[in-house]
Amino acid sequence: MDPITMRSSSFAVFAAMLLTLMLPTGASAAPEALYEGVVGGARVVVALTEDGGEFFGRYFYRASRLDIDLSGKAEGSAITLQSRTTGDQLRLKRIGANLTGVLTTAKARSLPVSLQPAGTPHGLPADVPPGLSLYERWRLAGLRLAPQQAETIDGRTIRWYREPLSGIRLFRLETGYPAPAMAAINRELARNQWQTVSDWFACTGSDGRPGTEIAEADRPWLGADHMSYAWTASWSCAGNAHPDFATVGHSYDMRTGGELHLDDLLRFGSVPVPAEDGDGWYAYRSNSFAPGVVALLKRHHPQQMAPPGEGAEDECDYADPEVWNFPAWVLSDKGLWLGASFPRVQRACDAPEWAIIPWSALRLPGGERR
């Protein structure tokens, strides 16, 4: 598999496609109250956070699962909420632990609302990511993956699985590697898929429709000892300043079933790489890793790494170490592909297809053989 055009935001490797609906900062300080019930005849789940009489939250219809934002305020036992994306207005009243009231749509249709505190959802899919909130777990409850066609790649078999509401697809390994490693990786693939499904439901556009334009996995590269694939996504969620897009790669050691990290493949200097996300690690990435990447790319791609000509302000300067601090990456039969990360005005520079470091230059025990 040749690396396709990819783009990475500065921390895309760590963000892992967190396309969540952004709430005001104050909303995160208080606990989230969760309710389930009906609007008219439709079942809904509602999450609300109160902060000094201000309310923030979201809800979804269980038939569609797509988030609808809410914000408003309380006056005594009455709560008035609005959605900026749909124009819905909720007028609720506390009666003990429950909420009752009316939802008025943007087309002036009024529907009765009855909500009660939500417990633990039933019918959760297997291998749901452990870090999901109760609201997010309710959003996935009752969903199932539909198996699709099997595919053979270099003598190894995979099968694709699709979640029908979001359309999110991801493969599972069926043959070609040790069974324990495949089982461990398939569990991780399932978690990655359900996380992406959850993110898809969380991103609603300013028109109230799905805000995720693309969320798909590339056809994987299946090597003798390693496997690699990439999630590619583009989205425009209501409340975000700009549309955005990103790629996150996942690579595995097929002998152990463990996921690889970029620092496993590229290590510069004589001392161990500091613990990830600490101050020492960020300093290492800036002072050792990025300059080391530039040196390797100059060695293997001298023409492409030549500095832009004088006065060429809009040209891509791949010799600038800063654009390689936190690259996207994916493995292929040719080696390790890295995606640079430029400022927004130079996004066209982010994914040079030629930026491949050959296997012979990587520090992976045993190397990789096709």
Q: Across-strand partners of 231?
A: 217, 248
Q: State how far the alpha carbon of 118 is from the alpha carbons of 33, 36, 93, 134, in Å.
A: 9, 5, 17, 9
Q: Say how far apart CA 359 and CA 260 lie, in whole Å.
A: 15
Burial environment of residue 138 by CB neighbours within 10 A (0 to 12, 13 to 18, 19 or more): buried
pLDDT of residue 142: 96
> Minimal CA–CA distance to 301: which of 318, 322, 314, 282?
318
Q: Across-strand partners of 208?
A: none
Burial environment of residue 341 by CB neighbours within 10 A (0 to 12, 13 to 18, 19 or more): buried
Provide the token pair at 17: 């496609």
Q: Across-strand partners of 99?
A: 94, 115
Q: Say how far apart CA 185 and CA 164 lie, in whole Å.
A: 23
Provide the token pair at 184: 């461990």
Q: Say how far apart CA 157 and CA 175 lie, in whole Å.
A: 5
Q: Say how far apart CA 266 and CA 13 lie, in whole Å.
A: 15
Q: Say how far apart CA 186 and CA 181 lie, in whole Å.
A: 8
Per-residue pLDDT tens, the chain, 370 aa: give them.
343 333 333 333 333 333 333 333 334 456 899 999 999 999 999 999 998 889 999 999 999 999 999 999 998 889 999 999 899 999 999 999 999 999 999 999 999 999 999 999 999 998 999 999 999 999 999 999 999 999 999 999 999 999 999 999 999 999 999 999 999 999 999 999 999 999 999 999 888 889 888 889 999 999 999 999 998 888 889 877 777 777 889 999 999 999 999 998 899 988 899 999 999 999 999 999 999 999 999 999 999 999 886 545 568 899 999 999 999 999 999 999 999 988 877 878 888 899 999 998 887 655 444 3
Predicted model pTM = 0.85
User: Does residue 28 contact residue 47 with C-beta atoms inside 8 Å?
Assistant: no
Q: Which residue has the tokens 């470091």?
A: 357
Provide the token pair at 363: 């520090």
pLDDT of residue 73: 94
Provide the token pair at 97: 């632990």
Type and span of the H or E element at 78: strand 78-82
